[in-house]
Amino acid sequence: MAGFVYAVDNEDVLSEKVITDAGLSNIFDGIDDISVSAYNGPGGGKCVLFMGAGGSSRKIKYLPDEQKWVKSKNGKYWIGFYKDDPPTQSELARQKKLNGHSVKLTDGDQWQIPLARMAQGVSALPQSLILAADDQVQLDEIETYSGFFLLATKLWDDFMIEAKAADDDELNLNLVARLKLAIMALNFNYHVGIDEINMLKLIDSENLGLIMGSIIDLPTIFKKIEQDNKKKEITASDG
């Protein structure tokens, strides 16, 4: 059982500040007290080593022959995993996940993609319930998810443009924006971000479209269309 191993140069002890300064706050829900100080880490010098979700404390080691390491995209830490035991979706899953659709990623496993915009056009994300003075219940956006729903709305508009084959209309989200949206979606349900997903090469040109479709509930829409078509076929055969 091994998750990702992380290393931050020129640090001796793991702390919330180390996590925050490295830009890892969205990967870790919190920290434990288990870390290892190394004098010859992946950066060639002193560092603090610590384990990500799903990993065993016994695996907190720097073993370059047994592990694959890369520098993070932001340049503030190193990330690695054991070559013979890469992290899996079950190890990386958060304790509480958002509802959604499953998509098979390049590792061959099914990953749950959060649903942001339901087929009916409303948000599928958690919302705060506010009891107003007149005893009316009001729904209020939770800030954590507001950006996700806004991007999902733009993605839906893009889907409508593409469905109409309107070449003259400019899309809201280009390939880079869609890849970032996929990473955002996976981060809600798993302890992963840009570097973790890049290392595992989870997203490719085929499953990216499935991830986008899951965010805006296309599986539900396509299933409804299929059911309606079958009903029409049955009605036609009966006639």
CB-neighbour burial class of residue 93 (10 A; exposed 0-12, middle 13-18, buried 19+):
middle
In this predicted model, what pLDDT tens digit does every residue of 58-80 receive, in sequence order? 789 999 999 999 999 999 999 99
Say yes or no: 9 and 47 in one domain: yes
pLDDT for res 39? 86
Q: Which of 53, 87, 121 is the last residue of a domain?
A: 87
| Position 235 in a domain | no
Say yes or no: 69 and 161 in one domain: no
| Position 58 in a domain | yes
The total number of structural domains in the chain stands at: 2
Pairing of strands 100-104, 110-114: antiparallel
Say yes or no: 72 and 117 in one domain: no
| Position 238 in a domain | no
Say yes or no: 116 and 185 in one domain: yes
| Position 48 in a domain | yes
Say yes or no: 31 and 111 in one domain: no
Locate 88 and state its tokens.
């899996």
In this predicted model, what pLDDT tens digit does every residue of 126-178 receive, in sequence order? 999 999 888 899 888 899 998 999 999 999 999 988 877 756 668 889 999 99
pLDDT for res 30? 75
Say yes or no: 71 and 102 in one domain: no
Say yes or no: 77 and 109 in one domain: no
Say yes or no: 164 and 142 in one domain: yes
Q: Which of 67, 87, 107 is the last residue of a domain?
A: 87
Say yes or no: 105 and 196 in one domain: yes
Locate 82 and state its tokens.
């054991």
Say yes or no: 27 and 43 in one domain: yes
pLDDT for res 58? 77
| Position 228 in a domain | no
Say yes or no: 48 and 71 in one domain: yes
In this predicted model, what pLDDT tens digit does every residue of 181-195 receive, in sequence order? 999 999 999 999 999
pLDDT at residue 228 greater than cutoff 80 = no
Q: What's the predicted TM-score (pTM) here?
A: 0.89
Quick one: residue 44, left, alpha or beta (phi over 0 = left, psi -120 to 50 = alpha)? left
Q: Which of 87, 120, 139 is the last residue of a domain?
A: 87
Q: What is the mean pLDDT of residues 197-226?
A: 93
Contacts 24+ apart (CB under 8 A), 201-205: 201/106, 202/105, 202/106, 202/107, 202/111, 203/105, 203/106, 203/179, 204/106
Say yes or no: 116 and 45 in one domain: no
| Position 239 in a domain | no
In this predicted model, what pLDDT tens digit does every residue of 98-121 receive, in sequence order? 999 999 999 999 999 999 999 889
Structural domain of residue 187, as residue ranges? 95-222
| Position 16 in a domain | yes
| Position 232 in a domain | no
pLDDT for res 223? 82
Q: How many CB atoms lie within 10 A of CB 222?
A: 12
